[in-house]
Amino acid sequence: MSQSPHQPGGGRLIIFQENGAGQQKIAGIEKYGQGIVITALYDLAGPFPEFIDEPEPYFPREFDGDLVLSFLRHPDLLAHLARLCLERGLPLIASGKKAPGALTPFTCCGLGRLPGLGAYGEQFGFPELALTLDEENRISSASVLRGASCGATWEALARIIGLPLAEALVSYAREVQYLCQADPSAFDPVSGKSAVHYAGHAHAAALKKAAAEWEQSTRP
């Protein structure tokens, strides 16, 4: 089914990044996403002044799509983008940042299932997995139902096939942390965890949940 202009939750992405900051996540979306098209990519090139009083010249006059992803680092640029998205009725995701009107999960793998995010929201965000265990409680197969846009969910999962579940839980979290591109110095004031640690815990939790679902499905 084709998407009409500005249809909430459509598969057309508009991406704003700053000096190539979103390249890994863009590559992950292109590799692992289905039914998603990046219709426009705007790379705002710095250096920028500490304060940007007039951010308008850095942005296009018009942009059209269903969902906007921001990999902007400068708070004044992000704040202006958030205002533009609110004016256009477009959802904006800015992981790891703060901006009124935007969805700002702690990491790209911290995005919950929310209405209006369409194909992107179905496929990317807090990880969801499916797996099978053999008679020795080793992971015999595994697949990603939903994962991090950076691709770490998929890439790390391939490295734990054949491991005992207890070992896999630790190894999966560690492998994801190696691949995670989040700022390790960004700490959540509530949990006290860094973004990288959060990513590891989120993936370990998803693996544990998938194992419990497998075990429940095989009970007589």
Residue-level pLDDT at 5: 39
Residue-level pLDDT at 151: 96
Helices (H), ranges, the chain: 23-32, 75-88, 118-123, 152-157, 165-179, 195-217
pLDDT over 90 for what percent of the chain?
84
Q: How confident is the model at residue 67 (pLDDT cuts 50, 70, 90)?
A: very high
What is the bridge-based pairing of β-strands 128-133 and 92-93? Answer: unpaired
Average pLDDT, rounded, for the chain: 91
Residue-level pLDDT at 191: 62
Residue type for position 47: P
Spatial contact of 106 and 198, defined as CB atoms under 8 Å apart = yes
Q: How confident is the model at residue 10 (pLDDT cuts 50, 70, 90)?
A: low
State whether CATH 3.40.50 applies to domain 12-123.
Answer: yes
Q: How confident is the model at residue 1 (pLDDT cuts 50, 70, 90)?
A: very low
Q: Number of H helices and number of E strands within the chain?
A: 6, 6
pLDDT mean over 170-181: 94
pLDDT in tens, 42-57: 999 989 999 999 999 9
The predicted model scores a pTM of 0.90
pLDDT in tens, 73-97: 999 999 999 999 999 999 999 999 9
* pLDDT surpasses 70 at 29: yes
> 112 by DSSP, 3-state: which?
coil
CATH code linked to domain 128-217: 3.90.1010
The whole-angstrom separation of Cα 181 and Cα 176 is 10
The whole-angstrom separation of Cα 136 and Cα 108 is 34
Going through the chain in order, the beta strands assigned E by DSSP cover 12-18, 37-44, 67-71, 92-93, 128-133, 139-146
pLDDT in tens, 137-171: 999 999 999 999 999 999 999 999 999 999 999 99
Helices (H), ranges, 2-117: 23-32, 75-88
Residue extents of the structural domains in the chain = 12-123, 128-217
CB hemisphere CA count around 107 (13 angstroms): 33
